[in-house]
Amino acid sequence: MTLNGAFIVPHPPIIIPQIGKSRRKFIEATIDAYDEVARRIAVIRPDTIVLATPHAVMYSDYFHIAGGELAEGSFADFKAPAVKMDADYDCAFVRELAALAAEEGIYAGTLGAKKKALDHGTMVPLYFVNQYYREYQLVSLSLSGLPPLEHYRFGKCVAKVAQASNKTVVFIASGDLSHKLKADGPYGFASEGPQFDKEVTQAMQRGDFLRFLTFEEDFCEAAAECGLRAFVIMAGALDGKAVKPELLSYEGPFGIGYAVAAFSVIGEDKSRQFDRVYEKLQESEAKTRKGTEDEYIKLARQSLEHYVKTAQKLQMPKEIAQPLLQERAGVFVSLKLEGRLRGCIGTIMPTKENVAQEIIQNAVSAGAEDPRFEPVKKEELPRLVYSVDVLGKPEPIRSIKDLDAKRYGVIVSFKGKRGLLLPNLPGVDTPEQQIKIALQKAGIYPDERYSMERFEVIRHESGKEKG
């Protein structure tokens, strides 16, 4: 059978009576909507509930699926140890899902569990469900640091396993929205917070799952959102399905956004295969970018594309701008995919005869040798976004007062260790942040007597130049 329904719910522990007590009166709309979701699930009577949670073990490149036969949990961390629950896992569904993900080239499975107890992102939804219905088995999914498109494809695997089974299946995406709605909230205020909540709830209301895929990573980080990737997995599980969307409630009285939404499957709709729509959108944007590329970006792109397709380094093109052949400088090449960093490698000082050779070398290294990422795949090439930073000569500084996070990059050095951070990076707004990150990259402790240098860059992005 296919999925019989899908729901987005928040997971504030304060919503549990023994925890929230009198404060629950401030989230009555959320409580009422949660009860409605639980009643609907009881009517469906699912054999299996698949639940995606942001608070289970999470890896940068792997989707963890909770393994074993059962798990227990309590709200002891929230001063309510008497509120306990357990869940039987649907072991057959888990095995099939892990096997299918492997076939699809998605890194997922039951390995790597650090803590087998149920997390609160799972327990809060199940607390409400259990008030009305208990005759289900659970499949618990974690999120990952992989791009949104991989989360969507993982959701498609969930749908395929559900389709192949004889079970009635419901999907629950557990996730709060922005954590930065109020200055007096626990995480403070950011203008991106209310904006994110407005846009994501509009997408829920319209059933616009493509919007879930197109939020910029920097914007999401500034908003401090929680559940978007869980929503994307849910969207993948509903791939190709016509749905009736309902936004049942939204509120944020404590500075954190809580949304409850329901999606009923009402038929088939091939136009709602949003991974394909998203890929076409990205490829169209890439073609537009190519039309605005300057020589620096063009050379970086050609270098990596040639290497990925042939496993050979690009020979110097015959027609190339003279400044690239005449200048010597350190160069960093950065790659982004779906708004997320996909690779970044560079040289602080020139190591080649000219900037062109520096770009060719570092573009390949960024795509194939950055130890934080798997090598770039051929199918990713059309969707990559490139930037090239040409570094000015570093100059020593004595004080943090000589830095400007937007204008200058920083190099920290101590006993052969060096760490560099480029200027004008999203989320890095102060010299203090710059130095902290550069020290971490170098493995230098803050109390060690490190030296500092600053440098300026000329940044090339899709045909733009930034000093």
> What is the CATH classification number for the domain harbouring 44?
3.40.830.10
Report how far apart, in Å, the C-alpha atoms of 279 and of each of 193, 301, 375, 424 are: 27, 19, 19, 29
Least confident of 30-34, 163-167, 282-286, 453-457: 282-286
Domain boundary among 277, 309, 334: 277
Say whether pLDDT at 331 is over 60: yes
Q: Average pLDDT, stretch 44-66?
A: 95
Domain boundary among 245, 277, 309: 277
Tokens 């939020």 — which residue?
Answer: 215
223 and 316 in a common domain = no
**For 379-437, what is each residue's pLDDT tens digit?**
889 889 999 999 999 999 999 999 999 999 999 999 999 999 999 988 788 999 999 99
Q: Are 49 and 90 in contact (CB under 8 A)?
A: no
233 and 297 in a common domain = no
CA atoms lying within 13 Å on the CB side of residue 388: 31
Say whether pLDDT at 172 is over 80: yes
207 and 142 in a common domain = yes
Residue 70 located in a structural domain: yes
300 and 252 in a common domain = no
What phi and psi values does residue 431 have, to the nearest 5 degrees?
-60, -35
384 and 273 in a common domain = no
AA identity, residue 108: A
Confidence of residue 202 (pLDDT cuts 50, 70, 90): very high
171 and 28 in a common domain = yes
Confidence of residue 467 (pLDDT cuts 50, 70, 90): very low
For residues 318-339, b (16+ Cβ closer than 10 Å) or e, as one string? Answer: eeeeeebeeeebbbbbbbbbbb
219 and 333 in a common domain = no
Sign of the Cα torsion 127, 129, 133, 139 reads negative
Per-chain mean pLDDT for the chain = 93
pTM to 2 decimal places: 0.82
Q: Please name the residues in contact with 122: beta carbons below 8 A apart, sequence gap of 6 or more.
A: 51, 53, 55, 56, 73, 87, 138, 140, 174
How confident is the model at residue 1, as a pLDDT?
64
Residue 384 located in a structural domain: yes
Least confident of 276-290, 306-320, 356-370: 276-290
Q: For residues 262 and 117, which has the higher predicted lDDT (pLDDT)?
A: 262
Tokens 């795949």 — which residue?
Answer: 377
Residue 286 located in a structural domain: no
Residue 449 located in a structural domain: yes
Say whether pLDDT at 106 is over 90: yes
190 and 142 in a common domain = yes
DSSP code per residue over 213-239: HH--HHHHHHHT--SHHHHHHHHHHTT
Interior CA angle at 264 toward 260 and 266, to 5°?
Answer: 160
How confident is the model at residue 321, as a pLDDT?
84
Starting from the edge strand earliest in sequence, which strands make up the sheet with 241-251, in order?
A: 137-142, 48-53, 169-174, 3-9, 258-268, 241-251
Q: Are 233 and 152 in contact (CB under 8 A)?
A: yes
Q: Sort strands 464-466 and 457-461 into parallel, antiparallel or unpaired.
A: antiparallel
Question: Residue 462 region, left (φ>0) first, then alpha (ψ -120 to 50), else beta?
Answer: left
Domain that holds residue 159: 3-277
299 and 224 in a common domain = no
Say whether pLDDT at 21 is over 60: yes
d(CA 158, CA 161): 5
From the list 423, 413, 422, the residue with the least C-alpha distance to 451 is 413
Residue 426 located in a structural domain: yes
Check which CATH number belongs to the domain holding 408 and give it. 3.30.700.20
217 and 331 in a common domain = no
Residue 195 buriedness (CB in 10 A; 0-12 / 13-18 / 19+) = middle
As given in the structure block, the two tokens for residue 235 are: 């969207």
Confidence of residue 91 (pLDDT cuts 50, 70, 90): very high
Say whether pLDDT at 339 is over 70: yes
As given in the structure block, the two tokens for residue 352 are: 């080649």
Q: Are 196 and 223 in contact (CB under 8 A)?
A: yes
461 and 372 in a common domain = yes
Residue 414 located in a structural domain: yes
How confident is the model at residue 466, as a pLDDT?
39
Domain boundary among 277, 307, 342: 277
395: enclosing H helix or E strand: strand 395-397
d(CA 91, CA 351): 55
202 and 59 in a common domain = yes
Report how far apart, in Å, the C-alpha atoms of 391 and of each of 332, 367, 423 are: 8, 20, 10
Residue 187 located in a structural domain: yes
d(CA 114, CA 84): 20
Q: How many domains does the chain have?
A: 2
From the list 96, 113, 12, 94, the residue with the least C-alpha distance to 56 is 113
Residue 287 located in a structural domain: no
Radius of gyration (Cα) for the chain, nearest Å?
A: 25
Tokens 């908003």 — which residue?
Answer: 223
Distance of CA 36 to the CA centre of its chain: 30
